[in-house]
Structure 1
Amino acid sequence: MESEKRLPTLGEMLFVLIGFTVIMFMFIVKFEISIQLALLTTWALIMLVGLKIGYNYKEMQDGLLRGIYDGLESILILISVGALIGTWIAGGVVPSIIYYGLTVINPAIFLFAAFLICTITSVATGTSFGSAGTAGIAMMGIGASFGFPVPLVAGAVISGCYVGDKLSPLSDTTVMTASLSKVDLIDHIKSMLTASTPAWIITALLFLGVGFFYRGSGDMSSATETMAALKEYFNIGWYMVVPAAVVILLLALKKPAIPVILFGALLGSLWAFLFQGVSALNAVNILYAGNTIQSGVPFIDNLLNRGGIVFMLDVIVLIIFALGVGGLMERIGVLKAVGNYLLRWANNSGNLTLTTILSAFFGNFFGGAAYVSVITGSKITADSYDRLHIDRRVLSRNTEAGGTVTTPMVPWSDGGVFMAMTLGVSTLSYLPFLWFNFLALIICLIYGYRNMFIWYTDPDAEPVKRTRSGKKLSVS
């Protein structure tokens, strides 16, 4: 006879959540064991609770596989971007961008320029991964040549990359969030602009100010050495950036991301063969094995010895394990139980905003992927918006704030791992400099608790305040 299934109790839910956190801390911080093994260990922890509340192994395995399946698109994008990074380095695309960047960008405005360039690239392409793997790597090279701390440069790069991931109509998470929230895509973007615009302006001013502070330490001799090394090992020219222009144009025309990125990777191989003296066989093999260079300049070797599908294998394994955690938690009802507890106090726009952000962040922290976060953020709290007569445009905005922009903040999420691997900076090192990401969160919370830019489907449900004479005034 099949045992009766039930939702986890508060104690069982806390056992899973606290156990997950302890395992991650002990493996990563205390014993410095791989994150992959830590996530695999949490599978066993979650399954023990699942068995206790009535699920058999086959049912939990189905949930685990479903979680992995839901994130397969991000894995395919990782594979494609890995191939693209390798061939764009070998083909001279990234080295040329770094070279010309060093000639035209003033160190005093570099951080602002890096943030702006990555913003434009991500908005035009809709992908934070692709933007970081191309423009982002170039900015890291330029910043290191100017003597900026690499975690600070990474913060500017990632902040810019996630502007587009959050706002671009070409972004998969933007489209997915609008769809899950049942909001028109353009209305969703307009709603996000109310919070993202001030966040972007403040972030730009911060990077501009910090850039002027560091301008005296900009090491131009290092920049000159870098340019000389790039000129020696690569054929530098304006035509080297043609593959980048083609990919950005195709993505801007709303062509499918995966085939476009793979096409860009093939163009990189062709450029390596035609312009960099790489043999045809090696040019193709770079798609899988990545680029190798021994320039004698340590940071160039560290920056440009990367890419290829093999470069992403550790990341892919990690993301599979993280997606499995999310699938298991969904299957045995941990996500639903957490949602039930959170919603008990979501009785106004402020608490509901915080609840949505926490629900979405929960998807990143325990599910390991932006896709999971936008699902948890939108699905857990959607009914509460309807109950309070708050327009779902607010739901979609808060979901992106708690989900998309917090992805690179979690060391084992797909975004956190990709950014750390691609830019060569650990998550905890660049975390304090994700100024756009933090500001987007803070502004959404301010809007929620101050009832600003909160739209209501029923005017009678909108909170009001009164003047001393007793006349009603709208809060928003």
Structure 2
Amino acid sequence: MSTDKRLPTLGEVLFVLIAFVSIMFLFVVQFEIPIQLALLTTWFVIMIVGLRIGYSYAEMQQGILKGITDGLEAVLILICVGALIGTWIAGGIVPSIIYYGLSIIHPSIFLLAAFIICAITSLATGTSFGSAGTAGIAMMGIGISFGFPVALVAGAVISGCYVGDKLSPLSDTTVMTASLSKVNVIEHIKSMLFVSGPAFVIAGILFLITGFFFIDSSGTIEQAEATMASLNDFFQINWYMLIPAAIVIALLILKKPSIPVILFGALLGSIWAYLFQDVALLDAIKGLYSGNSIDSGVDFIDNLLNRGGIVFMLDVIALILFALGVGGLMEQTGILKVICIKLLSWADNAGKTTISTILAGFFGNFFGGAAYVSVITASKITEENYDRLNIDRRILSRNTEAGGTVTTPMVPWSDGGVFMATTLGVSTIAYLPFLWFNFLVIAISILYGFTNKFIWYTKPEEKTEEQDSERALP
């Protein structure tokens, strides 16, 4: 085979993109074939184009392996969080959080409380996955007990979880984005506050108003009391059930490595299950792999609490590996580069540049299947335009988070989308309309771009007096 290689034409890129969307629709919607097979089939479509433009199979395999390697940390975290979910349920940690939450949170403010609690947890720990797998599951239990639709509760939970994922200095995507954009991580966070602050306040108000007008408090109190009674029947509920959660959060706040800390928390869950929940020692250890299993006779409690364990994440892991492979193939064969060139030629001002970065991040999630891929595509595909237009790289890093991090749970086959849907028991399409914080971050970022508000430049002498006054961060 000839070693001459070329970039794919726009027609070949469009063929891949259309084929990707068509395969997803036919496999998942039309024939209900597992999405993992749809992604695997997409590999071969991209390989056909790769062979046509001069790549050997060995070269494309290297692209697949690189794509998977780039996202392996997320896979390892998924494994650890799966183990933690199972043992924290069996050990009474999550049931205790649900029980105490039902006793102190009023139904009318529940959505706001769920949003804020998950935001605080994610800010303190730096992980949206860990926050959803612990506080998120507890908030789902409380919300369902109050009679809220599961999709609405999931929207509040995920919105809160991604506050910390994009803002916390402990978050891997926050640090990675700052590094890729060549911006100090604290300056990166300060820049994001101009977007995330208003988005957080507006989303909080929306969740508060929705909670006030959505439910009948008298009816939900009865449901909550029934749930509390059922939890009391099957778990020992006490304040010291919360100790493992406090330890894990404290260790993460102290910037200890996420993977060993989460695994240590999972082990504590097994110990608590043995010591306080009358679970046999061997079964408590097995729970790390197999998760929790109870038969309470209450359907929603069984559906909520019969989950977790490493085995709970195996389908998710397979899906993410195939999605990462798609991203690696697109990178290796130049498909993403062609998209980059088109975006660069179109974006000639701050507003268009903002949109191009957000689109590049979304493409990374849509075709690469992982937040790690999305922040790479968003920052590297569009960084040239920021330098050409003399736009401060803090805007690049801020927009990268808006296009990469917060769009991750919006894509059903991305690592974030699959994890949230699996962990919370709600499909991505169902909770998507309620990701109010995420959508607000995107909308406010675009608004700033086209109004030139909070857009800073590296050459202030070439800008207007008004822009000069806005350049310096407070």
Runs of 4+ with >4 A deviation: 472-476
The answer on whether the counterparts of 1:389 and 1:461 sit within 8 Å (CA) in structure 2 is no
Aligned residue in 1 for 2:176: 176
Corresponding position of 1:285: 286
Q: Which amino acid aligns with 2:245?
A: A
Q: Which residue of 2 aligns with 1:274?
A: 275
After TM superposition, the structure 1 = structure 2 runs for residues 55-66 of structure 1, keeping only pairs within 5 Å, are 55-66=55-66
Structure-2 residue corresponding to 1:343: 344
1:214 paired with 2:214, answer yes
CA distance in 2, matches of 1:434, 1:196: 14
Range 212-221 or range 116-125, more displaced: 212-221
Provide the C-alpha distance between the structure 2 equivalents of 1:463 and 1:425, rounded to a whole number of angstroms.
49
Query: Residue 346 of structure 1 aligns to which amino acid in structure 2?
Result: A
- Partners in 1 of 2:468 and 2:231 — Cα distance? 64
Give the Cα–Cα distance (whole angstroms) in 1 for the partners of residues 82 and 403 of structure 2.
27
Whole-Å separation in 1 of the counterparts to 2:89 and 2:216: 30
Count how many residue pairs are aligned between Structure 1 and Structure 2.
Answer: 470
Q: 1:473 to 1:233 in 2, by over 3 A?
A: closer
Match of 1:119 in 2: 119
AA matched with 2:124: A
Counterpart CA distance in 2 for 1:461 and 1:73 is 43
Q: Distance in 2 between matches of 1:88 and 1:290?
A: 9
Q: CA deviation at 1:29?
A: 1.3
One-letter code of the match for 1:305? N
TM-superposed CA distance for 1:28, in Å, is: 1.2
Counterpart of 2:51 in structure 1 is 51
Deviation at 1:254, TM superposition (A): 0.3
1:202-239 Cα deviation digits (max 9, x unpaired): 00000000000123165222211111110010000000
The alpha carbon displacement at 1:383 in A equals 1.1
Distance of 2:464 and 2:292 partners within structure 1: 59
2:331 aligns with 330
Q: Give the residue type in structure 2 aligned to 1:398.
A: N
Shift of 1:31: 1.3
Unaligned runs of 5+ in 1: 466-471
Match status 1:428 vs 2:413? no
How far did 1:464 drift? Answer: 6.7
Distance 1:22 1:463, change over 3 A: farther
Q: What secondary structure does 2:405 align onto?
A: coil
Aligned equivalents of 1:274, 1:385: Cα separation in 2: 57
- Measured in 1, the distance between the counterparts of 2:468 and 2:162 equals 37
SS at match of 2:216: helix
Partners of 1:320 and 1:117 lie apart in 2 by: 31
8 Å contact from structure 2 (residues 456, 470) kept in 1: no
Measure how far apart 1:132 and its partner are.
0.2
Match of 1:23 in 2: 23
Paired with 2:233 and 2:469, the residues of 1 have a C-alpha distance of 66
Cα drift, residue 279 of structure 1: 0.8
Number of the residue aligned with 1:237: 238
Q: Classify 1:344/1:464 alpha carbon distance in 2 versus 1 (closer, same or farther; 3 Å).
A: farther
Letter of the aligned partner of 1:56 in structure 2? S
Structure 1 residue 132 corresponds to structure 2 residue 132: yes
> What fraction of aligned residue pairs are identical, expressed as a percent?
72
3-state DSSP of counterpart to 1:219: helix
RMSD (CA atoms)? 1.2
Contact 1:388 1:461 (8 Å CA) reproduced = no
Do the aligned partners of 1:363 and 1:376 also contact (CA within 8 Å) in 2?
Answer: yes
Measured in 2, the distance between the counterparts of 1:123 and 1:108 equals 25
> What's the TM-score, normalizing by structure 2?
0.98
The aligned counterpart of 2:72 is 72
How far residue 22 of structure 1 moved from its aligned partner, in angstroms, is 0.9
Partners of 1:426 and 1:10 in 2: CA distance: 33
Q: Residues 65 and 324 of structure 1 are in contact (CA less than 8 Å); yes or no, is this contact kept in structure 2? A: yes
Structure 1 position 453 matched with structure 2 position 451: no
- Structure 1 distance, partners of 2:173, 2:462, is 30
Deviations 1:178-208 (A, max 9, x none): 0000000000000100000000000000000
Alignment correspondent of 1:189: 189
Q: What code does the residue aligned with 1:374 have? A: V
Residue matched to 2:361: 360
> Aligned letter for 1:118?
C
Preserved contact between residue 290 and residue 309 of structure 1 (Cα < 8 Å): yes
Give, in whole Å, the separation in 1 of the partners of 2:380 and 2:75: 23
CA displacement, residues 90-139 of structure 1 (integer Å, 9 cap, x when unaligned): 00000000000010000010000000000000000000000000000000
